[in-house]
């Protein structure tokens, strides 16, 4: 049985951008990956083509930035468990098109199985469901603590 992919995060800004956006070759729709960093934050990684000695193309994985705190709290449990997530670039503003005083912008969309992510209870606490297998039955809202 396959996991049902639904939008988990429609559009999340990437913070602390570490690359020159115009030189990466990224475009809207480019695939990306999420990975946990040693400090507990979620990094956004992309595959780009770099040339060795200006001639030989090679694929390298670059950290382009970090997800914000709310997106990290929502998606970190799924990233830690290596759940299937589909991450795409949905917004790009390179340096030469950015407004005065504003830097480049990158936005990502994350799709995955909603049964595998963290859930906020009504009292503001975050509940992380246990790891699920694809064949497990869907959890109803009544299965989460604090839900009515």
pLDDT tens digits, one per residue of 119-137: 655 666 666 555 444 333 4
Phi, psi of 53 (to 5 degrees): 60, 25
Mean pLDDT taken over the chain? 79
64-119 pLDDT, tens digit each = 999 988 888 888 888 888 888 999 999 998 878 877 778 888 999 999 887 767 66
Considering the entire predicted model, what is its pTM? 0.75
Report the topology of domain 6-115: Alpha-Beta Plaits (3.30.70)
SS (H, E, C) 71-102: HHHHHHHHHHCCCCEEEEEEEEECHHHCCCCC
Q: Give the pLDDT mean for 30-51.
A: 91
Place of tokens 């705190």: 69
């Amino acid at each position: 049985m396959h996991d049902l992919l639904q939008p988990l995060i429609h559009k999340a800004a990437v913070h602390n951008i570490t690359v020159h956006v115009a030189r990466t070759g990224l475009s809207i729709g480019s695939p990306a990956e999420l990975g946990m960093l040693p400090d507990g934050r979620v990094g956004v990684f992309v595959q780009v083509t770099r040339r060795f000695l200006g001639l030989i193309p090679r694929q390298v994985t670059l950290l382009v930035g970090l997800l914000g705190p709310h997106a990290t709290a929502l998606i970190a449990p799924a990233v830690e468990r290596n759940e299937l997530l589909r991450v795409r670039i949905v917004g790009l503003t390179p340096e030469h098109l950015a407004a005065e005083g504003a830097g480049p912008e990158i936005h990502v969309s994350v799709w995955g199985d909603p049964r595998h992510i963290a859930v906020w209870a009504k009292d503001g606490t975050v509940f992380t469901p246990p790891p699920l297998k694809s064949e497990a039955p869907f959890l109803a809202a009544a299965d989460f603590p604090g839900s009515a």
